[in-house]
Structure 1
Amino acid sequence: MADKTEEIPQNARRVFINDIDKYTSKNIARILDSCVVGASLVDPGEADVEEDEDRLHDEQPKLKGATFQIVGTVSSQTEEKCSFIAEEHSNLKREDLLHHLMKCDVVIYDITQYADQIDEAQWAVSALHEEMEQFSGPKMFILVSTIMTWAMTKPADKDYPEIPFTEEHYRRRKAHPNFHEHIGLEKLVVKLGKTKSSQFSTYVVASGLQYGMGEHIFHLFFKMSWLGEVSQVPIFGDGSNIIPTIHIKDLAGIIQNIIDHKPKSQYFVAVDDYKNTMEDIIKAVTLVLGPGKTQNVTKEEIYLTRDLTQTDIDSLLVNLRIEATYLKENFNIQWVSETGMVENIEQITEEYKQTRGLLPLRICILGPPAVGKSTIAERICKHYKLHHVKLKETITETLENLESCVGMEDEENDQSEAQEFLDTLKENINQNGGRIDDQYVIRIMRDKLRTKPCMNQGFVLDGFPKTYEQAKELFTGDEEPEDLRSKHEKKIIPEFVFFVDATDVFLKTRVLNLPETVVEGTSYTPEQFLHRLANFRERNVEDETLLNYFEDQEIHPEHLGNVKGVNQITF
């Protein structure tokens, strides 16, 4: 057990949360720990945003004592302790658990993730109700339940099934067959809070499927998109089912409002303000993180997915129109994602990558021809799942994509722009005997580095740029506004630069010993290779070399000198 009670101010509100090491409870705990008690009672619209921020910042030290002290249970004791948790308990007997609950002002039980918590939550609210006369002060019990207790509710008007449910309909709600215990507990919690609400108030929050901060139920689709191991991310069924959702920070904000406001109403629906379908959500995720392609598969295939529990499956297949009218009219919520998952997918994706440490790795490998840059790049890409970016292949890929774009009958595609660039490239290639001017090469390579795969996972830039000027144009070109250019530069400029070198004798010997089948059609014929090697050496004795550029950007290249063979380099 980690106990930091002595560090907590005496007038803090003590909050118990179950399963505090799990996704939902951990994030609720983290956010409440950063809140000031009563902060949601202040209407942010009463003052100018900047003045309000300054005022809250100034008042923070004065209100430091009025904080939330978070205690809770964990499913397993670990060495790692969260800084926002005052006390952690595991494997408690119920008499000991009740002792801790009695010391808390607010008790929060989350039953959205694991049904095995239903029995404990039912015992906890009943035990507290029985001990009301022993309370040293008023207590509050908040049950975080799920909108799956509404899943089978019939529309009030069968002729207009698109009319959404609201909290006003909660007495008519019908649960999904696998969530009858959830709805039973909801009813018990509401009932026990009616006995003496001034002493023991109870609330139910029917949460939409939660997202944000690393994801929980939607993690499967983020993971599949990120890894890129499938060319098309599956949509189970036709994908037209509407999935009510809520950002985990907004769910925590709703709970904060309940604690602060102590409302008379006992039942709340916690969903964002958008009605996204499964198809909408999965397409948005894969467009930002992955291949950008999806495919519809049968609903039955979802049961073959090991990463999903039965609760997850039932929840993802729900089809429910529901709105959270009460909290929008009565609470002061600083919404993080009021307009829903699809509208905010860029922000949510950034949260996902930050929370899970999925930061892109950007590498550039330089060196003379035939030193083994591509072999090294391939090994790094395979190990770290990065994208191998080579000049010749990228130019070929760009031409093929432009051809494909021009040939597509799609109103959303700017065919005229694609046609114009394709014609320009073809003309330039014909005029230059198969080569492309630097200005177009830079554009092609910059566009490649800004593709979603390269921006998300990262890349290994193989043998390009070749000169100081190419590097300057590629990473710090001045064709964009300064603020946008700075943003893009930071996202595509390599973090690590490796310069691989070997003696000219070794390189010449290596090329001369290559089989004819390997040399044919490449630039490794003796005459072409010697010309390329001479150009490389000449470029790297100038005042402004490629390595000088990276040094100027405070990116210090690692030199792998005197390489006698690429097999000597290990990763």
Structure 2
Amino acid sequence: ATGRVPGWAMEEVAPRGRRIFLNHLDSYCGRSIGKCLSTSVVGATLESAEEEEEREENESPDDPTSTGETYEIVGTLSKPESDDLQFAKETYAVSSREELLSHLLECDIVLYNITEDASQIEEATWAASALHTEIETFAKQKLFILISTIMTWANTKPFDPENPESPFIEEDFRKRRSHPGFVDHLNAEKHIAKLGKTNKKKFSTYVVASGHQYGAEEGLFHYFFKMCWLGETPAIPVFGDGKNIIPTIHVRDLAIVLQNVAEHKPAFQYVLGVDASMHTLRELIKCISKNIGPGKIEKVPKENAFLSKELTQMQLDMLFVNLRMESLYLKENFNINWFAETGLIDNIAQVVMEYKQARGLLPLKVYIHGPPGSGKSTIAKELCKHYKLHYVSTNDAISEKIAELEQIVTKEPVRVESEVEVEGEGEREGEGEGEKLVEEEEEEEGENVEEAKEFLDAIKESMQQNKGKLGDEYILKIMKDKLMSMPCRNQGYVLDGFPEIYEEAMELF
């Protein structure tokens, strides 16, 4: 991929296959796909590594694939006031269907995303039908790719009773059964696929059934990322038993899949856009909690999810889906240079960084130093209050650490019992798994108890030897731990009066 070609360097009409229409460019999925495709080299997925090297050696200015030219993105907006869409060549506030059709006819590739806004289903169906009626006027082939959802498979039962864990693949698409709330999505898939069979040389249609998208500023999983980042709850909720398997795909990988479909123009019309992971809801939320939140999860009744004002019915249905899927067609026929093939959990560090950057959640870190009585502590606390940061001083950090260590050492049996109770709820059918889960927690906590006891004893001994004052090496460790705590890493902090000397600063930072 290369950087975007500046507007002044582009022709008035984009070269063959370069101009892409995408609806709702300002939505989560639209923005992410548009950004990715706007920097993708035309024809790049058709090359092998050897061919790519050869192309770079023998570049031809007449061939857009040889000069590294990128796709030109145009499309509609969900909100007319949306801005910061620098990746888009043109955006449209469409007032009539005739105007929309004129924009569609200017493009060689039309992508319609119906995974986020159900109101786009009717428009996508109309757009494909309208283009189909103009088929005889096409000077060259046009492609229509519907970005649908795996929810059109949600009620599909395993085909092999003896092997219920066998994943669904693309070839099973004729047997798919939709979730009741996604019947319109299924009908759109069928209608648009049918339109592409009339005259494939003029008008080809495809359906990409996308797994639940993650990455960038997050869409479906934003609810959990936000809750974790805010740090206002001690444990992140898992609705129900959390054992349901959720097919996923990074939005960047979804864009790569779409580019492959557009460039390879496969004979098979139906493609599953899912990564290789088969993680459960519980595994996903636990991972998010551990890497950006409190590190704990709590099972709550599924009914509680419906009380949340931040989750729509559509999102709840998506969270409760339970499907094993494998994108076999992608692996065997496309040149996919995966960004996160193994899924969210294996790529969580990158995903968390993307989330913070996309939403402007980078921490603010402040250090205040001054002599006693100068008012630095008052200023530090006011700054924390104004910017919603965490106040950090040596005395508070030491007191917190001692209290935390004492709780781990003395309260451990009680805490494990409460974990058994929480994890054991609703495990009647799978008690064995529930017990194993608790054993893993106990083993991990057992190691923590031993470490906590050693550190607590060392702190007390140091304070006894130094007339109530803690040794510098222990203060440094405690302060490092405090600054590396999730709240300080997420929102930031105001450091009051420590470090006092250059050597301490070098050790601390």
Q: What's the TM-score once normalised by structure 1's chain length? A: 0.78
Which residue number in structure 1 is paired with residue 473 of structure 2?
439
Shift of 1:344: 1.1
Deviations 1:138-194 (A, max 9, x none): 000000000000000011022332211111111000000011111011011111111
Paired position in structure 1 for 2:427: none
**1:27 and 2:21 equivalent?**
no
Deviations 1:387-414 (A, max 9, x none): 2111112112222333344454732243
How many residues get paired? 467
- Which among 396, 402, 411 is matched to residue 443 of structure 2? 411
Q: Using a 3 Å threshold, how does the CA distance of structure 1 residues 386 and 57 change in structure 2: closer, same or farther?
A: farther
1:453 to 487, 497, 507: 487
Q: Give the match for residue 156 of structure 1.
A: 159
Give the Cα separation in 2 of the matches to 1:121 and 1:380: 50
Counterpart in the other structure of 1:484: none
Answer yes or no: is the 8 Å Cα contact 2:46–2:264 preserved in 1.
yes
Partner-residue secondary structure (3-state), 1:283: helix
- Which amino acid is the alignment partner of residue 427 of structure 1? E
**What is the distance in 1 between the residues matched to 2:58 and 2:380?**
52
1:557 alignment partner in structure 2? none
Cα distance, 1:309 vs. partner? 1.8
**How do 1:160-309 residues align onto structure 2 when only pairs under 5 Å count?**
160-309=163-312
Tell me if the contact between 2:238 and 2:282 (Cα under 8 Å) persists in the aligned partners.
Answer: yes
Q: How does 1:311-350 map to 2 (within 5 A)?
A: 311-350=314-353
2:42 counterpart (33, 37, 58): 37
Q: Take 2:294 and 2:382, find their aligned partners in 1: how far apart are those partners?
A: 22
The range that moved more, 148-157 or 312-321, is 312-321
CA displacement at 1:206 relative to structure 2: 0.3
**Taking structure 1 as reference, are residues 473 and 59 closer, same or farther at Cα in structure 2, changes over 3 Å only?**
farther
Whole-Å Cα distance in 2 between the matches of residues 260 and 431 of structure 1? 73
Q: Partner of 1:424: helix, strand, or coil? A: helix
Secondary structure at the aligned position of 2:495 is classed as strand
Question: Any idea what the Cα deviations from partners look like across 1:434-462, whole Å, max 9, x if unmatched?
Answer: 11111221122112212222122211111
SS of structure 1 residue aligned to 2:295? coil
Structure 2: stretches of 5+ with no match in the other structure: 1-5, 414-441
Check whether the contact 1:35–1:67 (CA below 8 A) recurs between aligned residues.
Answer: yes
Pick the aligned partner of 1:11 from 11, 15, 21: 15
Deviates more, 1:108-117 or 1:150-159: 150-159
Q: 1:115 deviation in Å?
A: 0.7
SS of match in other structure, 2:314: helix
- In structure 2, the partner of 1:88 is 91
CA radius of gyration, larger in: 1
Asked if the contact 2:94/2:100 (under 8 Å) is kept, the reply is no
- The one-letter code of the counterpart of 2:26 is D
Match of 2:306, SS?
helix
For residue 350 of structure 1, report the CA deviation from its aligned partner. Answer: 0.2
Matches within 5 A, 1:341-380: 341-380=344-383
Q: Is the 8 A contact 2:26 2:82 kept in 1?
A: no
AA aligned to 1:435 is K
The residue type paired with residue 8 of structure 1 is: M
Instruction: Call closer, same or farther: CA 1:121–1:79 in 2, change over 3 Å.
Output: closer
Bigger shift: residues 410-419 or 28-37 = 410-419
Q: Which residue of 2 aligns with 1:516?
A: none
Alpha-carbon separation, structure 2, partners of 1:77 and 1:56? 41
Residues 345 and 79 from structure 1, CA distance in 2 versus in 1: closer, same or farther, beyond 3 angstroms? closer
**1:45-85 CA-partner distances (Å, limit 9, x unpaired):** x49xxx96x98699698744743111111123237352221
**C-alpha distance in 2, partners of 1:425/1:298?**
42
3-state SS of the aligned residue for 2:299?
strand
Shift of 1:5: 7.3
For 2:444 and 2:56, the matched residues in 1 are separated by 46
Change (3 A) 1:32 1:57: farther
The farther-off stretch of 20-29 and 170-179 is 20-29
* SS, match of residue 349 in structure 1: helix
| Aligned residue runs from structure 1 range 112-131, under 5 A | 112-131=115-134
* 8 A Cα contact 1:145 1:186, kept in partner: yes
Distance 2:31 2:503 in 1: 50
User: Equivalent residue for 1:102?
Assistant: 105
Range with bigger deviation, 141-150 or 301-310? 301-310
Match of 1:398 among 393, 398, 401: 401
Aligned residue identity for 2:317? D
Describe the SS at the equivalent of 1:341. Answer: coil
Unaligned runs of 5+ in 1: 476-571
Q: Deviations along 1:264-318, whole A, 9 cap, x unmatched?
A: 1110111111111111111111111121222222212222222222211111111
Q: Is contact 1:8-1:69 (8 Å) kept?
A: no
Instruction: Classify the secondary structure of the residue corresponding to 2:34.
Output: helix
> 1:411 corresponds to which letter in structure 2?
E
Shift of 1:385: 2.2
Deviation digits for residues 5-62 of structure 1, max 9, x if unmatched? 7652342511111111111112111111101111011234x49xxx96x986996987
Q: Secondary structure at the match of 2:268?
A: coil
Secondary structure in 2 matching 1:195: coil
Report the counterpart of residue 498 of structure 2 in structure 1: 464
Code of the residue aligned with 1:26 in structure 2: it is: R
- Tell me how far apart the structure 2 counterparts of residues 60 and 286 of structure 1 sit (CA, whole Å): 50
Give 1:371 deviation, angstroms: 3.0
Indicate how the Cα distance of structure 1 residues 5 and 427 shifts in structure 2: closer, same or farther if over 3 A, else same: closer
> Does the CA-based 8 Å contact 1:11-1:65 persist in structure 2?
no
Rounded to whole Å, the distance in 2 between the matches of 1:363 and 1:274 is: 40
Q: 1:5, 1:87 within 8 Å by CA — same for their partners in 2?
A: no
Aligned partner of 1:461: which letter?
L
- Closer/same/farther in 2, CA of residues 177 and 79 from structure 1, 3 Å limit: closer
**Which residue does 1:132 correspond to in 2?**
135
Give the AA of the match of 1:356. Answer: R
| SS of alignment partner, residue 338 of structure 1 | coil
Q: Does 1:76 align with 2:79?
A: yes
| 1-structure distance, mates of 2:69, 2:354 | 29
Matches of 1:317 and 1:258, distance apart in 2: 29
SS in 1 for 2:444: coil
> Separation in 1 of the partners of 2:69 and 2:20?
13
CA–CA distance in structure 2, aligned partners of residues 70 and 289 of structure 1: 33
